[in-house]
Structure formats: C-alpha cells, structure tokens
Amino acid sequence: MPLNPRVRDWRGKTVWVVGASSGIGQATAVALHAQGALVVVSARDAAALDSFVAAHAGAVALPMDVADPQAIDAAARSILAGGTLDAVVYCAGTYVPMRATDFDLPTMERHLAVNYLGAVRVVHAVLPHFLARRAGHISLIASVAGYGGLPQSLAYGPTKAALINLAETLYLDLHAHGIGVHLICPGFVQTPLTAQNGFDMPALITPDKAAAEMLRGWAKGEFETHFPKRFTRGMKALRWLPYGAYFMAVRRFTGL
C-alpha cells in the first residue's frame, strides 16, 4: 500500500525545483523535463539557470537565494500567478566538513539557513495553495547523514536530521488533505559538495542515477526514498544499535 499518491505521469505538471543549478537538483530538473513536466528552476546561479532554460524548452528560471525569505515569497507568487503548482522539490543545500574541534558558528548558521530554514520557507510559501487544492507534492532532499551523528558532519548532519523530522511531521499533518510528502535520503552522490570529501565514498553514484531513483520512488508512492540501497540499508541499520555499539561502529567505519 503506497503511503503517498503515486506520480507516474508528469506530463503537463508544474514542478518547482529549488537548488537546480547543479548536482541532484539539476539532474532532477532534467529528468522531470524529459518526462513532460513544466519545470521551474531556482538557485542563486542565474547563469546556470539560463543555460538550463536554453537547453530545455518551456522551462522557466527564477533565480533566488533560499536564505532570503522575500526572494522565496516573490518566486512563489510568480509561479502561482501563472496557474497551478503541482509539486515542489527542495534540493538546495550547502556542506562544509566540520568537527567540533574546529567549531565555526557562521558556517553552522549558514547550513541552518540553507539546508533547513530555506525548506521551511518554501513549504510555507506553497502550502496554502496545496491546501486549497487538496492536492500537491512536497519533496525534501535530506541525507543518510541525518540518520545519526557522524564525524565531520557537525554543521551538515543536524540540518538533515531536522529535514527528516520535518518531513515525517508534515506527512502526519497533510496526508488527510491529499498532499504527498516525500523524504529523499541519498547516500554519496557525485556533486560539487561531495567533491570536498577527502576520503573514499562507498557506493558513490551519479546525480542522474539519483534522479532516476527519485522518479522511481514517486511512481511507487513511497514516503522515503533512500539510495543506493547497498549503502543506505547499512546506515539505516546503525540507527537501531545502542549508543555504545553505534559510536564504536561509526568510529570503525570512518576511522575518525
């Protein structure tokens, strides 16, 4: 039994992809466009968005910084003024490896603003439209880094944990209103953000593969889509360990 309305036909559906200038966001926008969706792309990099629109007929670019609440509201108003919005996919994110011994408050606050508060503000901007229609889909890109504490993830991991909790709570509140809430938890994906990692990333996949997994999850009506399974199943299993065993396993796995 699917937990969400299945989305198998994207033809003619308007989808707002936030964080579409590179990585998973860009690959998802490409995949949705190929499926016939009317894609609206947002990110700070206006040049990258213009290049996307030039290569994908019918796509619309709305540059914005997700840390700017007024910019989010203006973009949402622009989309909704043109008609119906069927889905929003929040892919915007930032990642700087950090350990507590190198605690940097501005970096922590930037992660909070982009990875979490930006998602909250986008949901706030589109939710009245979805509630009025009793339809719509909200997809939040979290991470397996949100499943539990990890070394070098001091700034990043807590924001992804917050997104997981946000998605779970939104689902409980919105399912009865006909609104789908989808949680996406990737493992390691080859993006400009993960390029900062100075360690071997197990089961590393391409953004195109990540986008394909997301489309599969939407078609199945999943609540959570996590991938690649050969890695993420192990990360999910760690959540069930007592803390002593969890900390030992993480230290052994990461070497940190």
The verdict on whether 156 is a catalytic residue reads: yes
Q: Is residue 8 part of a domain?
A: no
Q: Is residue 7 part of a domain?
A: no
Q: Domain count of the chain?
A: 1
Q: Is residue 5 part of a domain?
A: no
Q: Please tell me which residue in 90, 95, 116, 156 is annotated as part of the active site.
A: 156
Q: Specify the CATH number for the domain of residue 176.
A: 3.40.50.720
pLDDT, one tens digit per residue, over 170-202 is: 999 999 999 999 999 998 787 777 666 766 767
Q: Is residue 94 part of a domain?
A: yes
**Which domain range does residue 108 map to?**
14-254
pTM: 0.94
pLDDT, one tens digit per residue, over 97-154 is: 999 999 999 999 999 999 999 999 999 999 999 999 999 999 999 999 999 999 999 9
- Nearby residues of 188 by Cβ (< 8 Å), 6 or more positions away: 194, 197, 201, 202, 203, 204, 205, 231
Instruction: Report in angstroms the alpha-carbon separations of 66 from 39, 119, 161, 177, 233.
Output: 18, 8, 19, 27, 31
